[in-house]
Amino acid sequence: MFSKDNKKQMPVFATNWLLLLPVLNLSLLLTELSQWFIAMALITLLWQWAIHRNIMAIGKGWIKVIIAIAGCVLLVMTGKAIGLLSAMLHLLCLSYLLKPLELKKRYDIYQWFLIGLLLMCCSLIFQQSIYFSLLVLVFFIANLMFLNSLFSPLSSVNKQMKFSLKLVVQSLPLAVLLFVIFPKIPPFWQVPQSKGVETGLNDSLKIGDIAKLALSNDLAFRVEFSTDVPDYQQLYWRAIVLDTFDDQQWNRKYQQVANIKQYQQVPRKRLKYSGEDQLVTYQVILTPSFQPWLFLLDVGQLNRNRDTEHLATLRDYSVYSPRKITRPISYQVTSNLTQPLTLYQNASVLQRNLRIDSNSNPKLFKFGQTLKENALNAQNIIDSTLKHYRNNPFRYTLEPPLLTNNSLDEFFFNTQAGFCEHYASSFTYLMRAAGIPARVVLGYLGGELNKQGGYFSVYQRDAHAWSEVWLDGKGWVRVDPTAAVDPSRVEQGFSSQLLKERDQLAGFDMSTWLQAGLLQTVQLYLDTIDYQWTKFVINYSTEQQLKLLKAWFGQHVTLKVVVVLLVALSLIVALFFLTRWLRRLTEKVNSPALRVYKAACQHIEKMGVTRNLQETDQQYISRVKKVSVVASVELAAILTLYNQYVYANKRHSSIINALKKRLTKLKKCKKAGV
């Protein structure tokens, strides 16, 4: 494409686009591309720029082959680590990057253009926020401007931009109609899962894990309540239950879901309502975490529909997705906040939640045995343990001292400073040592209310760990030892001291920014816009589509929808072609070039030569030449200019002026012999 011959064929403005568009389109995938590919892309683009500026020659074909082979070799070496989807994406980007070096025909340019559009579509697999989508739309318009520059090389940038915007605006009604009404047909295959970085909570817990998450401002999920909002201290969002301890960390015993349909019936059976129960209904929208866990308040029941039928409610009341969450998903839940967790427990489950190694933390084990000997019942043991936390100098901090071997012993009896996982781990271990079945639960606590949007945002910094103990007659009961050490964390979120610690550890002072009321208000409005986009567009599901169509057309929507869709599409297509036909008809009637052409034919007719409808331009000119050689020359020039104006889309004032000059000369011509 950068050879001298091709440069003459290619408009300069369009050639510049060949350097700019790869930068724009590949930047949309910057977070998904490997470092080696980014380096290769920069080198290749610099090489193409040097060729374009005549600093370097295009070189032999073997150079391109070496680059392509090197890219493929690196792709094979890293393919397993980055996953199938990312590997295919890298291959597509590599072909897009090297294609400009071998463009010879317009067909090649169209191929390169379509690959660029495909890359933009691929970028929406990984990010779907409204702001990113708008950026993709802007880059799409830039791609249309490049295509327009091929057909109208003399048009200004403003004209090309207006024309591209016009195309986008004209396509919006049809796009919206298809999005809202067109049946959502399930895909014939599934896109391979991306090996994205897992974020948030994991199905294991080491001392210090959640303290690290407290430094993250990444969004975990959003929640919108359709009933009264519970108190802050009731917002315990359950995620993962950890029931085994290996002396170093808490883990979750693998529970194979053999029959998902069987588990889907569990929440429907366990929720029993009475007049004294506190029921809340809410919608959760998860952000991609590349993990399989969902979040809900206890005791929660998923509102089952076509979009959530694959989700499994496990026996420990956590909700599990068979596929990792790689895109925003939405689900509705009804929770009974006053119902105890009492079902599906047997001796083996309770026995597993008693297992500990007495030698791993001997001092803590002995302390638990002492509590058991001095207490009347399990509740007395719990109360005594919480009292011990309150009456001793335990501190709630994001900067706990490092712990060595027998970490729980060292924390409980020596350092006495830690975050929620320190207290949940030590409390659960103590309960097991005292003979009470106990387990650690991971999730999130609280959330930030967005008053503009009326929803809560829960961030990774809200991650929390607490304990659950089994009491006869009550079932699993939540006990949060953090409340005994720092009650404000459970009642209203991070204390001012913890906020100061978090900002210092994160490397910036967040409170300074939040004090700027205008910036905070703008941020809340922007977040609200993104939430509404995610709720109504990204998560527009088959279930929502059916509800919308039933609201419009009644319960029996299938036939009506098909008829309305076909009629609407037919009208749109008919209107489109009618508009084009009327425009062409108007242009033909009112075209200044057509007026010159008719005037020329009328003058030639006066010379005794009438144009026949079936003859070509060359035949017409040959007949005129027999009458007047000079007139035939001027007529040939007029017909050439007219064809350029009408059929080559070169509708410039210079052509009209040239036509008028040629017509003036033609009118001076007379029939030979006159």
Question: Domain check: are 171 and 213 in the same one?
Answer: no
Final residue of a domain: which of 517, 543, 562?
Answer: 517
Give me the pLDDT at residue 350, please: 86
Q: Is residue 188 part of a domain?
A: no
Question: Domain check: are 79 and 22 in the same one?
Answer: yes
Question: Domain check: are 75 and 19 in the same one?
Answer: yes
Q: Is residue 483 part of a domain?
A: yes
Report how far residue 381's alpha carbon sits from residue 429's, in angstroms, rounded to the nearest whole number: 13
**Furthest CA-CA distance within the chain:** 136
In this prediction, the residues of the chain whose per-residue pLDDT falls under 50 are 2-5, 7-8, 256-269, 509, 511-512, 515, 673-674
Give me the pLDDT at residue 233, please: 87
Structure token digits, residue 657? 């002026």
Question: Domain check: are 20 and 125 in the same one?
Answer: yes
Question: Domain check: are 160 and 306 in the same one?
Answer: no
Total number of domains in the chain:
3
Question: Domain check: are 246 and 323 in the same one?
Answer: yes
Q: Are 490 and 456 in contact, with CB atoms under 8 Å apart? A: no
Final residue of a domain: which of 517, 540, 555?
Answer: 517
Report how far residue 288's alpha carbon sits from residue 308's, in angstroms, rounded to the nearest whole number: 16
DSSP category for residue 30 = G
- Nearest-10 Cα torsion for 490, 494, 495, 499: 170
C-alpha distances out from residue 583 to 478, 586, 588, 593, 644, Å? 72, 5, 9, 16, 18
Closest CA to 388 of 370, 400, 361: 370
Helix runs in 486-613, H state only:
487-491, 496-506, 510-514, 517-533, 542-553, 558-590, 592-606
Question: Domain check: are 60 and 116 in the same one?
Answer: yes
Q: Are 444 and 223 in contact, with CB atoms under 8 Å apart? A: no
Radius of gyration of the chain (CA): 36
Q: Are 628 and 564 in contact, with CB atoms under 8 Å apart? A: no
Question: Domain check: are 36 and 166 in the same one?
Answer: yes
Domain containing 333 equals 204-517
Structure token digits, residue 67? 């680059």
- Nearest-10 Cα torsion for 517, 523, 525, 531: -150
Q: Is residue 674 part of a domain?
A: no
Q: Is residue 586 part of a domain?
A: no
Q: Is residue 281 part of a domain?
A: yes
Question: Domain check: are 337 and 403 in the same one?
Answer: yes
Give me the pLDDT at residue 524, please: 80
Q: Is residue 20 part of a domain?
A: yes
Give me the pLDDT at residue 265, please: 42
Give me the pLDDT at residue 358, please: 80
What digits encode the pLDDT tens for the residues 387-404? 999 999 998 888 888 887
Question: Domain check: are 216 and 115 in the same one?
Answer: no
Residue found under tokens 């070096």: 101
Give me the pLDDT at residue 223, please: 93
Give me the pLDDT at residue 258, please: 42
Report how far residue 110's alpha carbon sits from residue 3's, in angstroms, rounded to the nearest whole number: 18
Final residue of a domain: which of 495, 517, 539?
Answer: 517
Give me the pLDDT at residue 467, please: 94
Question: Domain check: are 304 and 406 in the same one?
Answer: yes
What digits encode the pLDDT tens for the residues 542-595? 777 777 777 776 666 565 665 676 677 778 778 877 877 776 666 555 678 888
Q: Is residue 464 part of a domain?
A: yes
Give me the pLDDT at residue 267, please: 46
Question: Domain check: are 174 and 234 in the same one?
Answer: no
DSSP secondary structure of 94-106: HHHHHGGGG--SH
Q: Is residue 573 part of a domain?
A: no
Q: What is the 3-state secondary structure (H, E, C) of 156-169?
A: CHHHHHHHHHHHHH
